[in-house]
């Protein structure tokens, strides 16, 4: 447990040191406000959160001074976040869906990645910049980033590609000041289709990265 805590703290400090970003509005280089605060708060609190057991992300964030949302306020908090995301992402090709108190952002691969590549295409940067601004404003949410592919090709290759794509999206958002302690990144390959893989239209829907926002409650 001691080693786990030290590893978590080291990750926070390394990330913060690298977190000089470009403000999407002014174009100026700056140190991320979120990362800067995390450097102090996480150093003091992340270890305490991890030692408490249970959900490491939740405990680390609470230990770093980010409070949980009281039960009755969760719905309103997520309503406001959903409304801002819808406003920011209108016309981008990214869908915003509510599932209970969670919010799902569906990012089709045809607008996020070149064919068979795992680096976000530059044309999608402004969209992710908009997402990052909202995620920083609503910091009482956990962020699950899931990569998915269609069924074409080798299972293990698709699994690895989906993981790398999800990680690329998480890395980009982290580079725009979103606290890395909030992220869980998973690749599911072709195992979770949302459409019929026997048609091109269905395969296109299955190739996606999803961001699930879960209230810190």
pLDDT score of 95: 98
Confidence band, pLDDT 50/70/90 cuts, at residue 55: confident
Task: Give the residue-averaged pLDDT of 181-189.
Answer: 97
Percentage of the chain exceeding pLDDT 90: 71
**Model confidence at 52: pLDDT above 90:** no
Of 144, 159, 183, which Cα lies nearest the Cα of 57?
183
pLDDT surpasses 50 at 185: yes
Tell me the average pLDDT of the chain: 83
pLDDT for residue 94: 98
Q: Provide the number of structural domains found in the chain.
A: 2
Do 74 and 163 reside in the same domain of the chain? yes
Confidence band (pLDDT; 50, 70, 90) for 194? very high
- Shared-domain flag, residues 132 and 185: yes
DSSP string of 34-103? Answer: HHHHHHHHHHHHHHHHHHT-S-HHHHHHHHTT-PPPPGGGHHHHHHHHHHHHHHHHTTSS-EEEEETTEE
Percent above pLDDT 70 for the chain: 75
151 in the same domain as 121: yes
Same domain, 29 and 81: no
The better pLDDT of the pair 105, 52 is held by 105
101 and 208 inside one domain: yes
For residue 206, pLDDT over 80 is answered with yes
Task: Look at residues 111, 183, 91 and name the one whose alpha carbon lies nearest to residue 143.
Answer: 183
* Same-domain pairing of 146 and 84: yes
Query: Are 43 and 117 within one domain?
Result: no
44 in the same domain as 28: yes
59-63, 83-87, 131-135: least confident range: 59-63
Three-state secondary structure call for residue 181:
helix
Cα separation of the two ends of the chain: 24
In DSSP terms, 33 is beta-bridged to: none
Contacts for 47 with CB less than 8 Å, ≥ 6 apart: 5, 8, 9, 63
Boundary residue ending a domain (67, 82, 97): 67
Instruction: Using the 3D structure, point to which of 67, 87, 112 is the last residue of a domain.
Output: 67
Neighbours of 114 (CB within 10 A): 11
Q: Give the model's pLDDT for residue 71.
A: 86
Of 20, 45, 67, the domain-final residue: 67
Is residue 58 over pLDDT 50?
A: yes
**Could you tell me if 88 and 132 lie in one domain?**
yes
- CATH number for the domain spanning 172: value is 3.30.1330.60
CA distances from residue 88 to 82, 83, 92, 105, 199 in whole angstroms, order as listed: 10, 9, 9, 12, 31
Domain holding 19, by residue range, is 1-67
Model confidence over 81-99: pLDDT tens digits?
999 999 999 999 999 999 9
110 and 10 in a single domain? The answer is no
Domain check: are 142 and 210 in the same one?
yes
**Residue 192 reports pLDDT greater than 60:** yes
In this structure, are 164 and 206 located in the same domain?
A: yes
């Amino acid at each position: 447990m001691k080693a786990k805590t030290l590893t978590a703290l080291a990750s926070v400090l390394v990330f913060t040191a690298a977190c000089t970003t470009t403000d999407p509005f002014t174009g100026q280089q700056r140190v991320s406000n979120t990362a800067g605060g995390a450097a102090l708060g996480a150093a003091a609190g992340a270890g305490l959160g991890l030692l408490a057991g249970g959900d490491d992300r939740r405990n680390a964030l609470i230990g770093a001074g980010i409070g949980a949302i009281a039960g009755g306020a969760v719905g309103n908090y997520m309503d406001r976040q959903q409304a801002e995301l819808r406003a920011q992402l209108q016309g981008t090709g990214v869908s915003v869906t509510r599932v209970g108190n969670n919010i799902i952002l569906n990012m089709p691969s045809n607008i996020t990645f070149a064919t068979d590549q795992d680096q976000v295409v530059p044309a999608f940067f402004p969209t992710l910049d908009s997402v990052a601004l909202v995620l920083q404003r609503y910091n009482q949410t956990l962020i699950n980033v899931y990569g998915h592919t269609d069924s074409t090709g080798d299972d293990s290759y698709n699994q690895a590609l989906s993981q790398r794509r999800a990680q690329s999206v998480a890395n980009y958002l982290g580079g725009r000041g979103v606290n890395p302690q909030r992220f869980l990144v998973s690749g599911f390959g072709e195992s979770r289709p949302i459409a019929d893989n026997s048609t091109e239209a269905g395969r296109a829907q299955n190739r996606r990265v999803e961001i699930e926002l879960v209230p810190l409650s």
